[in-house]
Chain A
Amino acid sequence: MVLSIFKVLWNNLKQGPSTDPFPFGETFTPARLRGKVAVDPEACVGCGVCATVCAGNAIKHVERGDGSGKDFYVWHNTCTFCGLCQHYCPTDAIRLTNNWSTAHRNEDKYKMKEHEFVAYARCPQCDQAMPNMPHAMLDHIYGAPTEELEAIYKLCPECRRQKAAQQFGAQIHD
């Protein structure tokens, strides 16, 4: 039962190399490996929490001049793969993929980034631009949203106030 060093050597001979044959073959990449960050612009509300907690200051949100939305940048070479952005994002819009391939030529260093456009939503009544409110966020705040909420959540704050007052007035009349 107890090994001697010779048995270790013999077992090593029988087993062959313990290292992965990379780059000529596959290497160990578990599903949870913390690799390059990916952003889902549809799910993002632009709250900026990810940029606040980001240890490497790898995340930049830049407002577009025409008010149509925000450019969302993640710099892979500045990212520490810590996963704080993923942990604190309220809508799971930002997450770490298990793609660890970051090797690149020096001339490509400014291309090593994730760029998404997070478009602002438009109020269906007055066309005012405002941060997008994905359903995931609504669920996060209210649990299962009610019908009334569904009717007003896409409106801008001003129109929403009016609509809510109308709904409330109608209730009193009933």
Chain B
Amino acid sequence: MSNTYTIPVGPLHVALEEPMYFQVDVKGEVVQSIEMFAGHSHRGMESLALERNFFQNIVLTERVCSLCSNNHPLTYCMALENIAQIQVPERGQYLRVIADEVKRIASHMFNVGIGLHVIGFNTLFMHAMEVRETMQDLKESIWGNRMDISANTIGGAKYDLDDELEAYLRKTLEELKKPVEEFKHMYATHPQVKARTKDVGILPPEAAIEYGLGGPVARGSGIDNDVRKETPYAAYDKLKFNVVLGEGCDVRSRALVRLGEIFESISLIEQCLDQMPKGPICCDPLPDIPAGQAVARSEAPRGELIYYMRTNGTMYPERLKWRVPTYVNWEGLRVMLDKAKVADIALIVNSIDPCLSCTER
């Protein structure tokens, strides 16, 4: 019974409802090696960006991925601001952090929830989605949409908070703390969840460094790396927060890092509300965008996001290129899936929080 054979996993419904095809060689029910095939959702976005002016590209980059849909336009705008030497007003900087962190909370809750769905624990999955729903309502109330919040524009933020919304935001965050605390406790202590996620998809710290992984995937293996700390952008240099690290190097550790980061996000938003000065939210008028090139990076919910842009003095970019967190993180799957059980493949894939729509764009 020790024959090796090859099974296909995907391209649909590997974990998220996104297409990715794995060709898995197994012996019994143990994975021997994998081959990954991507490219099912390529939409030619880098080329599309060249046909759109700088303003239209804010929206195009937001449509790259719905879960990181704040970080894409944010990083895009930062690259443009680097080229044109635009100073974003201080209030705009804080507003950018608030938008970023609200999206992060919703994204992390979603990923941990889907992980539970993959192991068949749908009650807790639905509970995760219900907790997350408060963030969706928040996004809809402040920014006007549940996913594409359209918070940023070139030179600053596009939205402002009045007293009423600020009070609503504070109240929602306060009310979120207890449910997330309880959820985290349930995730950490429930015996079945533990049995399915502990010591599954092991990523040793050395491998995380070797493969250059980032975000909660690397932090779940104890790698202290966070763009918000390393090269602070927006208002992150004025705010206090901890980089949440995990020791387990497994699926469970990565999920607990994400849940831990939700509390840091809540605290970051509260600090923003306390410290945010009054004043303009966006640079006005916008200067001309000269010819030049720049790189900008930010910490998306899935890890480090990098934008490269070259301009030629017109209203259209000459080249726009982005490197998304999943592009590096999915290489880590080779390590995590090695000697894993077939039944754990989807769970392990989900634990890197893959985003194929932005990787293949």
Contacts and interface: CB of A to CB of B under 8 A. Distances in A.
Interface of A: 2-5, 8-9, 12, 18, 28, 30, 32-34, 52-56, 80-84, 87-88, 96, 98
Contacts of A82: 58-59, 62, 148, 150
A37 B144 CA distance: 13
B150 A88 contact: no
Q: Is the interface of B mostly helix, strand, loop or mixed?
A: helix
20 contacts: A5-B124, A8-B123, A8-B186, A9-B123, A12-B127, A32-B140, A32-B143, A34-B144, A52-B53, A53-B56, A54-B56, A55-B52, A55-B55, A81-B144, A82-B58, A82-B148, A82-B150, A83-B144, A87-B153, A88-B55
B123 A5 contact: yes
Interface of B: 52-53, 55-56, 58-60, 62-63, 123-124, 127, 130, 133, 137, 140-145, 148, 150, 153, 158, 181-182, 185-186, 190
A34 B140 CA distance: 8
A87 B124 CA distance: 41
B140 A87 contact: no
A28 B186 contact: no
A30 B165 CA distance: 11
Contacts of B145: 33-34, 81
A87 B158 contact: yes
Contact of B137 (A3, A28, A34, A83): A28
A65 B178 CA distance: 64
B144 A53 contact: no
Contact of B158 (A2, A4, A28, A83): A83
Nearest to B62: A82
B60 A55 contact: yes
Contacts of A52: 53, 55
B144 A5 contact: no
Nearest to A87: B158
Contacts of B56: 53-55
A80 B182 CA distance: 38
Nearest to B55: A53
A2 B182 contact: yes
Contact of A5 (B130, B142, B186): B186
Contact of A3 (B58, B123, B144, B186): B186
A142 B224 CA distance: 53
Contacts of B59: 55-56, 80, 82, 84
A4 B144 contact: no
B186 A84 contact: no
A43 to B, nearest CB: 19
Nearest to A85: B55
Contact of B185 (A2, A30, A98): A2
Nearest to A2: B185
Given A3-B182, A3-B186, A83-B158, A28 B55 contact: no
B176 to A, nearest CB: 15
A33 B140 contact: yes
**Which 4 A-B residue pairs are closest in the complex by CB-CB distance?**
A55-B59, A34-B144, A53-B55, A30-B141
A84 B58 contact: yes
Contacts of B52: 55
A30 B172 CA distance: 15
Contacts of B153: 84, 87
B130 A33 contact: no
Contacts of A53: 53, 55-56
Interface-central residue, A18, A34, A54, A55, by most chain B CB under 10 Å: A55
Contacts of A2: 181-182, 185
